[in-house]
Amino acid sequence: MNTRTLRRVAVLGVVGAIASVSVVAGTASAAPAPSRTVLTTTTPSVVPGQGIKLKAVVKPVTGSAVPTGSVTFNEGATVLGTVPLTLVNNVAVAKLTVKLTGFGTHSITATYSGSTAFATSTSLVLVANVSKAATTTTVTSTAGATAGTVKFKAAVKLVAPSTGIATGTITFVVDGGAPQIIALNSFGSAALTVAFVPGSIHNVTATYSGSAAANASNGSLTVTA
């Protein structure tokens, strides 16, 4: 074998070695393993001001390794929050409590960020509902300074867990007569004073109109003037 042939063999040997190293290097870095994200809530239906408690659990599709990274909670394109994963009983968990605006249904998803070991994943859509606050209307009465005069008071309360003061109007109807509409004051109540024949019996109903954030309700009372 002459000198030129020897040089050619040597060059081909180096190239082959480099190719061999490249192949080995290419197979050394494995692709991230698939992950699975599950989104749940213990408060699927809430009222204004009440937080929806979201919980995302991230697990490997196969195996027992624990994913690391963070989870982003979304309502459509709106980011509700991003939370780092923490270990709870050796399970990767992210929790977020969020107060949603707007009545009706809200579609929420949780997306795992992924890591060098695990690929990203997104949960199925979780549907939560924000409803108007329930209310109660209570009617009480007190005797007026003049015989036969009765002062009726209707008080509207928001049912827990709703908080705040009811707004709107109260419609009083005494003995089936003409409705008398009175606005609620800053304490959520309204009053009406009526003069009757002393000793007579009367019935009054009070109907709360409801508002943008609260449902209507009513109460009634029978009194002796």
pLDDT digit string (tens) for 143-178? 988 899 999 999 999 998 888 899 999 999 999 999
Q: Which two tokens stand for residue 90?
A: 């050796």
With beta carbons less than 8 A apart as the criterion, state whether 147 and 114 touch.
no
d(CA 130, CA 100): 7
Q: What pLDDT digit, counting tens, does each position of 59-105 carry?
A: 999 998 999 999 999 999 999 999 999 999 999 999 999 998 888 99
**Mean of the per-residue pLDDT values of the chain:** 88
Confidence of residue 28 (pLDDT cuts 50, 70, 90): low
Confidence of residue 42 (pLDDT cuts 50, 70, 90): very high
β-pair partners for 33: 118
Contacts of 81 (CB under 8 A, 6+ apart): 72, 73, 96, 98
DSSP H helices, the chain, are: 3-28
Q: Which two tokens stand for residue 184?
A: 């609620």
> What mean pLDDT do residues 94-117 have?
94
What per-residue string of b and e applies to 67-85 under the rule 16 or more CB within 10 Å gives b? bbbbbbbbbeeeebeebeb
Confidence of residue 208 (pLDDT cuts 50, 70, 90): very high
With beta carbons less than 8 A apart as the criterion, state whether 190 and 218 touch.
no
* 164-167: long-range pairs with CB below 8 Å, 24+: 164/49, 164/133, 164/213, 166/135, 166/208, 166/211, 166/214, 167/211, 167/214
